[in-house]
Amino acid sequence: MRKQIAAANWKMNLTVSQGAALLDDILKAGLSLSDHQQAIFAVPFPYLSMAQSKLAHSGRFAVAAQNCSNKKSGAFTGEVSAEMLHSMEIGYCVIGHSERREYFAESNQVLAEKLDLCLENQITPIFCCGEPLQIREAGIQNSYVETQLRESLFHLSQDQLEKIVIAYEPIWAIGTGRTASTQQAQEMHAHLRAVLAGHYGDLVAGRISILYGGSVKASNAAELFQSPDVDGGLVGGASLNAPEFIRIIASLK
């Protein structure tokens, strides 16, 4: 079975003490995850060491960075390299989140470079893709996300692709009050897997975990995660609430 993942994206939220308390509350729940299940916490850069320390002996809980540079090293003040993350034993990194694409103009080519550096440093990228509202309303969302995959992923070998997690974000359903239906989520996840199969074959495509990232909550997680091509969620606001995120983790199939 593909790995089922509940990934928390704290974004630019919480003080370090608030983040530590949140992790403590989640750990106190005593969640028991199966071999094919995992919870990942994408925390702000200053909190990576704290989160690593908290989760060091927690079994199937892991820490992720929210971004990394597309440069190996050098005079790039304020940037954080994949090599730095590797030196801290960070195993995951979110790449291409919709906010990074929109607010920091990250192109598909830049994201391809970030993916390469993560893989070179034994970091599993959580690669985000998805369409804004105007693309969805125009009915061209399938070709839009296919282009994102082709331009950022298709230079990778089969072995490299199998080391990546994909997260689909319907940007029009993030923080807008609009919600994608379970059917819409499944349809896009199936399309993404079909695009991967067309280039890498069904066997490889069937091994890739694809997470849903559109306003996942405790109230809709179980239904979403039961979809055949939805392998968990990339969770924003709901991951900042311990009882809420505990229920989301417990909803993994």
Give the model confidence (pLDDT) of 139-159 as tens digits.
999 999 999 999 999 999 999
Domain ranges of the chain: 4-250
Out of 106, 131, 169, 189, the active site residue is 169
Catalytic residue of the set 97, 99, 131, 189: 97
Give me the pLDDT at residue 174, please. Answer: 77
User: What secondary structure letter does DSSP report for 154?
Assistant: T
Q: Pairing mode, if any, of strands 61-65 and 210-212?
A: unpaired
In tens, the pLDDT along 71-121 reads 999 999 999 999 999 999 999 999 999 999 999 999 999 999 999 999 999
Stated pTM of the model: 0.96
Asked whether 47 and 19 are in contact (CB, 8 A), the reply is: yes
Look up 169 and say whether it is catalytic.
yes
Residue 2 per-residue DSSP state: P
pLDDT of residue 175: 67
Q: Check residue 206 and give its pLDDT.
A: 97
What's the confidence (pLDDT) of residue 151?
Answer: 98
Residues in a beta bridge with 38: 5
* Fold assignment, 4-250: TIM Barrel (3.20.20)
In contact, 221 and 194? CB cutoff 8 Å? no
- Pair 152, 196: CB distance under 8 Å: no
CA distance 251 to 245: 10
13 half-sphere exposure, CB direction, 13 A CA radius: 13
Residues of the chain with pLDDT under 50: none
**Which tokens go with 116?**
């390469």
Of 29, 106, 21, residue with least CA distance to 66: 106
